[in-house]
């Protein structure tokens, strides 16, 4: 890490254009992720979000544009879907050992950080959606990433779990100081833990701080007026939270629980 610059760019994409079978999936898209920053790409289905992440990861070669990744940066990737055949006998411990040659203490540490230490010896194909997402996050953390790329990290996770997961992502950023690129289809969910939002629909519709994107005409046009309504639309009035095992825990004030607004 260099000390001369406060926020060195981890990854910089410039003028990215990708075409599949004559269809333009990405059209001159720029993206910058800096250390310690959470950037969220939101957009409707088929808007090119995942393709953008894949370009950043080097899995897709853009037809036009430049991809610059920082020197020797390690990227931790959490893909959208992981289907492991149930004929493969693989414990969570072993699954994590495949990611990085680390000892048991590190593995337990990473699992503890994401709140799934109790799953250490569970079979990977027996996990629920939320559990699997957290184990995948632990897997990415074990690589000591400079940059985390999370593609729809809340797939198959229930609502309370989604909020908890985004909260966790914010914590991880604070603790590790890594940059984070998140892909989501729901701005409200990610608002609390996002520094910058990029609203994508093949091209960049608008970008900026979450609050400014929420009221941006292009965002409203893309997601409908409902999407820009007040946050209270999804808030709950619980006085407590649940941990992953479903037990009631003290509310930590990490996300606001307020009364429903009409």
Partner 1 sequence: MTFSGGRCSAGWVSPLAAGPLGCFVVWRRMSYFGASIAHAALLGVALGLILGIDLTLGIALTGVVFAIAIVFLQRHTRLASDTLLGILAHAALAAGLVAISSRQGLRVDLLGYLFGDILAVSQADLVWIYLGGGLSLAVLAAVWRGLLAITVHEELARAEGVHVLAIQLIFALLLAIVIAVSMKIVGVLLIISLLIIPAAAARPFAKTPEQMAILAALIGAVAVAAGLGASYHWDTPSGPSVVMAAFAMFLASLAAASFQRR
By the 8 A CB rule, do 127 and 115 touch? Answer: no
Alpha carbon separation from 180 to 153, 176, 183, 251 (Å, rounded)? 12, 11, 10, 25
Strand 9-20 to strand 23-34: parallel, antiparallel, or no bridges (unpaired)?
antiparallel
Token pair 């292009």 is found at: 218
In the complex, what is the shortest distance from the CB of residue 188 to partner 1, in angstroms, rounded to a whole number?
28
167/115 Cα distance (integer angstroms): 12
Q: Number of residues in contact with partner 1, rule: CB under 8 A?
A: 20
Buried b (16+ CB within 10 A) or exposed e, 133-159: bbbbbbbbbbbebbbbbbbbbbbebee
Q: Which stretch binds partner 1 (CB under 8 A): 4-12, 72-80, 187-195, 251-259?
A: 72-80
Tell me the sheet residues that pair with 240.
250
Q: By C-beta, is 78 or 200 nearer to partner 1? A: 78
Q: By C-beta, is 82 or 254 nearer to partner 1? A: 82
Cα 103 from chain centre: 26
In the complex, what is the shortest distance from the CB of residue 35 to partner 1, in angstroms, rounded to a whole number?
20
Q: By C-beta, is 88 or 232 nearer to partner 1? A: 88
**Site pattern 118..157 for partner 1 (x: CB under 8 A):** -------------------------x--------------
In the complex, what is the shortest distance from the CB of residue 98 to partner 1, in angstroms, rounded to a whole number?
6
Q: By C-beta, is 148 or 172 nearer to partner 1? A: 148
Q: By C-beta, is 91 or 155 nearer to partner 1? A: 91
Residues that bind partner 1 (CB under 8 A): 54, 57-59, 75, 77, 79, 82, 84-85, 87-91, 94-95, 98-99, 143
């Amino acid at each position: 890490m260099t000390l001369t610059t406060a926020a060195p760019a981890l990854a910089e994409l410039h003028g990215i254009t990708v075409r599949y079978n004559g269809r333009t999936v990405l059209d001159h898209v720029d993206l910058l992720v800096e250390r310690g920053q959470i950037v969220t790409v939101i957009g409707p289905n088929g808007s090119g979000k995942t393709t953008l992440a894949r370009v950043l990861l080097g899995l897709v070669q853009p037809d036009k544009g430049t991809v610059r990744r920082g020197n020797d940066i390690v990227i931790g990737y959490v893909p959208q879907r992981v289907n492991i055949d149930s004929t493969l006998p693989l414990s969570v411990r072993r699954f994590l050992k495949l990611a990085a040659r680390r000892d048991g203490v590190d593995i337990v540490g990473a699992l503890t950080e994401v709140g799934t230490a109790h799953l250490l010896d569970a079979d990977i194909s027996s996990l629920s959606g939320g559990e699997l997402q957290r184990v995948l996050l632990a897997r990415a953390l074990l690589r000591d990433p400079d940059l985390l790329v999370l593609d729809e990290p809340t797939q198959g996770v229930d609502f309370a779990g989604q909020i908890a997961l985004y909260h966790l992502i914010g914590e991880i950023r604070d603790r590790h100081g890594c940059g984070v690129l998140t892909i989501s289809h729901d701005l409200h969910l990610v608002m609390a833990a996002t520094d910058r939002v990029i609203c994508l629909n093949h091209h960049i519709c608008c970008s900026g701080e979450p609050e400014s994107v929420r009221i941006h005409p292009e965002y409203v046009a893309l997601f409908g007026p409902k999407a820009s309504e007040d946050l209270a639309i999804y808030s709950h009035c619980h006085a407590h939270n649940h941990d992953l095992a479903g037990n009631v825990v003290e509310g930590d004030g990490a996300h606001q629980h307020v009364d429903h607004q009409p």
